[in-house]
Structure 1
Amino acid sequence: MSVSTDTAGVSPPATEEHRRKAKKATAVAAFGTFIEYYDFSVYGYVAATLAIVFFPSDNPTVGLLNTFLVFGSAFAVRPLGALFFGRLGDRAGRRVSLIASIGLMSLAAALTGLLPGYASIGVAAPILLIILRMLQGFSTGGEIGGAASYIREWAPKERRSLYISFIPGVAVFGKACAAGMAALAATLIPESAMESWGWRIPFLLAVPLGLLCLYLRLKIEDTPEFRDTQSADRSARPDRKPFKELMADYPGPLGKVMAISTVQNVGTYVGTVFVASYLSSVLDFSEGEAATIVLLAVLAAAVFIPLCGQFGSRVGGKRVLIVSYIAYVALTIPSFWLMGRGSVGLAIAGLLLGMIPYALCQAGTYAAMPEFFPVQVRHTGVAFGHSVGAVIGGGAGPYASTWLIDSTGSTLVPAYILVFFGLFGLAVVLGLMRPSASRDHLYA
């Protein structure tokens, strides 16, 4: 079975009114993704402080491992969130799903910022932290599928890759803002105050940001493609079950989305989130220096990703993915070698080098995922496939990196992990996928 850009329905009419609505839809959906990933990533950027507050231990590595174990717990429930929000989005509408996901994420992040530490309530503190972190993961499980489906169905066909690239672009910018807040707090607030209350500030910013996004998402409308398909589908199959249909009719495309999503998530959570703790805990940069290095690199990536999306609109998603995986293999070890030289300037240069394959992979993956599925299962397919990839690639990545560095003593472990998955990505694209007849180079 071949899946092309036209599988799910007729391309949107290229009228001026439609272009205006498409731009508005893209902006609102992308802004919500920015907030989702700001809220979700803050945890990783203040992980070293959270280890002290919630997992006090004489061995700093043990505390950090426990903190990343909680970080990984959010990924364990992402597929459940994908199923819940995917069903909601494929039955009630992308708009309803996007409103619900941003509300839950903002609430969980705000409650995390108000949570007492281990010194105040003992073991209840890490338990509550785990619960709130899992709620964040549940929410994130639905956001990408909804945002990607929503933008794909509004965007003009010839600009889909560019428009969808704003999702990973603003997600990276959300992480950059999280890193920036962490850097600002670590720089301006004394260490003792940071452990007492300073770490809460980045989380509590979820309240005004979430309320603003909720207001904007309440004012958007669903896509014409979804409305047309849903109207006909409800008449023919009023009790349709999107996940059951996905598993029965699209197991091949789903497996391929899981594979490319795994590579993309390894690059994200090892290469941009874990690296903040890696710089401070392994390479002995201060927390402020580490957060600043990551901030500069991910800001550069946020600008680079839409350029990669435009590149994808011209040459096709498969070629973008191939280039990204080759770049991971070629550039990652030099990137981490530069970071390990002990110089802030060289560390910035090294991480900037690492952002090249990262940005290419983000743009290629997000543009490709919605094209594997027709409109009636698109939200569920993208959300579930991406979430399973996130569990494998994102949930285990930071924990495995920390454990392997401690076990082997090698500071290049994260680089080896990224190179391995770059090779895996190449095998997936070159060996397991074939281009369809469409110009967009999508896969069967």
Structure 2
Amino acid sequence: MTPVTDERRRKAKKATAVAAFGTFIEYYDFSVYGYVAATLSIVFFPSDNPTVSLLNTFLVFGSAFVVRPLGALFFGRLGDRAGRRVSLVASIGLMSLAAALTGLLPGYATIGVGAPILLVILRMLQGFSTGGEIGGAASYIREWAPKDRRSLYISFIPGVGVLGKACAAGMAALAASLVPEDSMEAWGWRLPFLLAVPLGLLCLYLRLKIEDTPEFRDTDVTERTNRKPLKELMADHRGPLTKVMAISTVQNVGTYVGTVFVASYLSTVLDFSKGQAATIVLLAVLTAAVFIPLCGQLGSRLGGKRVLIVSYIAYIALTIPSFLLMGRGSVGLAIAGLVLGMVPYALCQAGTYTVMPEFFPVQVRNTGVAFGHSIGAVIGGGAGPYVSTWLIDATGSTLVPAYILVAFGLFGLALALGAVRRSSSADHLYT
């Protein structure tokens, strides 16, 4: 085991910064689609019924989640065999390329049905890339960070991920505010996607300059090259993998219903303008970006598992008041309501990312975290926006997203309390 020297701590901080920056770009590229979904529905799925157009747009959004487990297996295996650094370089390159090509894609009016087909393909490539990013970044930072700082360092993954979403929301808000509606549909929606080009090149350069983790380098070479991570994961780690899937499902419902879907919800359901909706989401997720490292610091003291329990309770208690405030018709109250909803979100993000890598040994950690998290993303993230849109239309209730978040908060709490009853110590909450 490599000793924790001052040089090691310096390298750990650099490694955390570079890995987290890549996650920022991944989440920016992946989230832009959700923040401009209302415009994309017109460009790629023209229809007399705007709800049908939006549902089709969210179906494409969800298609990215279907391939995330495949990306998790590919990049997880790459990271567990060739190194975390190699996996991180490959994932950011693919994501940036897919986002840039999306920004150049002709609309339905230009090439007809080919436009939505190409949109699906590019969206699936983004999902494939994202499937590998989380496992690689979480494993990389966990293996570099000093033990007493792991929760704090790992919390920068969701923290900068939120900043990536904030940047996506900001670009969407800027475009919607400065570009006329007809121009927004013609070319304005492309601008947030094309920003992926310089960001991706910068991150690719930085990731090529970092070292792999000491823990991975210290693992016997024959174990790395002769092993089949997925086979070993399924044979020896099914229990931990199932728990990671469940934890990830709750976290992804909170992410994609509570932050990405809500941008379209504010404009199409609550009748805010697209610019107002993007601004409301921007301010809320910027607040969350501050909350998450604070929750990570809390996790360093209390443990990520305890932070998760608090987050589930907060979802149950705060979500409905949050959506009631958003529904009052005031921009100020909508900001206050969504900021309130960021409290359980931040706690859940910090707790989830801290806990996931601890379930697996170094030999299968990248694959285990990536695959488990991606399955949770398929269930919680891929279906969340679509189901929310469909239920709102079917029931007429504007509180449907709140009910979904509360239901998954109850699921997470039941999972945690069940684990507590089977354990004599809260330190073994899930293991």
In the TM superposition, residue 435 of structure 1 has moved relative to its aligned partner by 8.6
8 Å CA contact 2:306, 2:426 repeated in 1: no
- Paired with 1:13 and 1:304, the residues of 2 have a C-alpha distance of 31
Q: Which runs of 5+ in 1 are unaligned?
A: 1-9
Secondary structure (helix, strand or coil) at the match of 2:364 reads helix
Among 212, 215, 225, the alignment partner of 1:225 is 215
Structure 1 residue aligned with 2:56: 66
- Paired with 1:149 and 1:170, the residues of 2 have a C-alpha distance of 16
Greater CA deviation, 223-232 or 65-74? 223-232
8 Å CA contact 2:419, 2:429 repeated in 1: no
Tell whether 2:276 aligns with 1:289.
yes
Tell whether 2:226 aligns with 1:239.
yes
**Residues 70-110 of structure 1: CA deviation (Å, up to 9, x unaligned):** 00000000000000000000000000000000000000000
Among 112, 134, 140, the alignment partner of 1:150 is 140
- Paired with 1:125 and 1:398, the residues of 2 have a C-alpha distance of 22
Secondary structure (helix, strand or coil) at the match of 1:375 reads coil
8 Å CA contact 1:13, 1:156 repeated in 2: no
Greater CA deviation, 144-153 or 317-326? 317-326
Structure 2 residue aligned with 1:95: 85
Change beyond 3 A, Cα 1:375–1:407: same
Among 249, 252, 259, the alignment partner of 2:246 is 259
In the TM superposition, residue 436 of structure 1 has moved relative to its aligned partner by 7.5
Structure 1 residue aligned with 2:342: 355
Among 124, 134, 137, the alignment partner of 2:127 is 137
Secondary structure (helix, strand or coil) at the match of 2:353 reads helix
Secondary structure (helix, strand or coil) at the match of 1:139 reads helix
Q: Which amino acid aligns with 1:158?
A: D
8 Å CA contact 1:22, 1:151 repeated in 2: yes
- Paired with 2:422 and 2:212, the residues of 1 have a C-alpha distance of 30
8 Å CA contact 1:317, 1:441 repeated in 2: no
- Paired with 1:210 and 1:441, the residues of 2 have a C-alpha distance of 39
Structure 2 residue aligned with 1:374: 361
Q: Which amino acid aligns with 1:266?
A: V
- Paired with 2:250 and 2:96, the residues of 1 have a C-alpha distance of 27
- Paired with 1:206 and 1:165, the residues of 2 have a C-alpha distance of 24
- Paired with 1:376 and 1:442, the residues of 2 have a C-alpha distance of 23
Q: Which amino acid aligns with 2:187?
A: W
Tell whether 2:116 aligns with 1:126.
yes
Structure 2 residue aligned with 1:397: 384
8 Å CA contact 2:419, 2:430 repeated in 1: no
TM-score, reference length from structure 1: 0.95
Q: Which amino acid aligns with 1:429?
A: A
Tell whether 2:14 aligns with 1:24.
yes
**Residues 101-128 of structure 1: CA deviation (Å, up to 9, x unaligned):** 0000000000000000000000000000
8 Å CA contact 2:258, 2:341 repeated in 1: yes
In the TM superposition, residue 317 of structure 1 has moved relative to its aligned partner by 1.4
Structure 2 residue aligned with 1:15: 5
Q: Which amino acid aligns with 1:338?
A: L
8 Å CA contact 1:39, 1:105 repeated in 2: yes
Moved over 6 A (4+): 434-439
Among 168, 179, 200, the alignment partner of 1:210 is 200
- Paired with 2:430 and 2:410, the residues of 1 have a C-alpha distance of 19
Tell whether 2:416 aligns with 1:426.
no
- Paired with 2:220 and 2:194, the residues of 1 have a C-alpha distance of 38
**Residues 118-176 of structure 1: CA deviation (Å, up to 9, x unaligned):** 00000000000000000000000000000000000000000000000000000000000
**Residues 165-212 of structure 1: CA deviation (Å, up to 9, x unaligned):** 000000000000000000000000000000000000000000000000
Q: Which amino acid aligns with 1:162?
A: L
8 Å CA contact 1:166, 1:306 repeated in 2: yes
- Paired with 2:430 and 2:103, the residues of 1 have a C-alpha distance of 43
Q: Which amino acid aligns with 1:393?
A: G
**Residues 238-278 of structure 1: CA deviation (Å, up to 9, x unaligned):** 42100000000000000000000000000000000000000
Structure 2 residue aligned with 1:443: 430
Among 304, 307, 312, the alignment partner of 1:317 is 304
Q: Which amino acid aligns with 1:398?
A: P
Provide the identity percentage: 87
- Paired with 2:70 and 2:366, the residues of 1 have a C-alpha distance of 14
Among 339, 345, 351, the alignment partner of 2:326 is 339
Q: Which amino acid aligns with 2:381?
A: G
Structure 2 residue aligned with 1:110: 100
Secondary structure (helix, strand or coil) at the match of 2:258 reads helix
Among 165, 171, 178, the alignment partner of 2:168 is 178
Q: Which amino acid aligns with 2:257?
A: V
Q: Which amino acid aligns with 2:383?
A: A
Q: Which amino acid aligns with 1:91?
A: R
- Alignment RMSD, CA only? 1.3
